């Protein structure tokens, strides 16, 4: 079985981005993904809420687990390392799209790489958190009102706007992108959305 695990903290559009990257990789490598586990939870949440327990119950020896990047699997360096080594010892194979050199962990070199990447992921997460807090405090101190401004855009497609931009830049047709996004709205509403956000210029 080939299983893909996707976790994001708050922004649903990042789920679509990760799913697209994983599907693109699977197509290139001729892999058929049997199941996606998708989670919209902070890494601070329990393993149960992040569906780690579900993930562990579903994979078996010889299965392949695809993850966008290593930090998606744990809240800390040690939790991430322990999970990966536990599943690896059970015969699960890993594919990390952002760290392709991490595939097996049966020697000292690969375990050293694993510890380095999990450490860097934790450092980066702490850095981003501190930088975000500092930015918010600076904005409040300068009197800025945080949040969506009155009269700003609001469309069912806005949450996917980054992946839509990316796919348009890759010269996919609008109809193909609309089908990939999988929204309930009709194609005309999607086309008008792209026009209103100046994502396309042709009539």
- Active site (annotated) includes residue 129: no
Where would I find the beta strands (DSSP E) of 29-163? 35-40, 64-67, 93-96
Query: Which is nearest to 94 in space by CA: 162, 3, 170, 190?
Result: 3
Q: What share of the chain is helix, strand, coil (3-state, %, to 5)?
A: 50, 10, 40
Strands 93-96 and 64-67: parallel
Please identify which of the residues 9, 42, 176, 196 carries the catalytic annotation: 9
Instruction: Find all residues with CB under 8 Å of 190, minimum gap 6, and list them.
Output: 157, 174, 177, 178, 181, 183
Kindly list the catalytic residues: 9
């Amino acid at each position: 079985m080939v299983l893909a695990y996707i976790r994001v903290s708050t922004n649903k559009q990042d789920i679509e981005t990760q799913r697209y990257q994983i599907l693109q990789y699977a197509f290139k490598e001729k892999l058929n993904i049997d199941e996606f586990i998708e989670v919209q939870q902070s890494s601070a949440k329990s393993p149960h809420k992040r569906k780690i327990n579900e993930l562990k119950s579903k994979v078996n020896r010889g299965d392949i687990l695809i993850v966008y990047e290593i930090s998606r699997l744990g809240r800390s360096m040690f939790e991430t390392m322990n999970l990966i080594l536990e599943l690896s010892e059970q015969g699960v194979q890993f594919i990390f799209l952002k760290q392709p050199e991490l595939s097996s962990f049966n020697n000292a070199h690969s375990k050293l790489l694993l510890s380095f990447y999990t450490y860097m992921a934790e450092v980066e997460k702490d850095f981003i958190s501190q930088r975000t807090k500092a930015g918010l405090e600076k904005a409040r101190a300068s009197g800025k009102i945080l949040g969506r401004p009155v009269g700003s855009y609001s469309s069912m497609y806005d949450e996917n706007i980054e992946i839509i931009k990316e796919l348009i830049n890759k010269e996919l047709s609008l109809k193909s992108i609309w089908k990939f996004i999988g929204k309930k709205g009709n194609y005309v509403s999607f086309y008008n959305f792209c026009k209103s956000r100046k994502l396309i210029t042709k009539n």
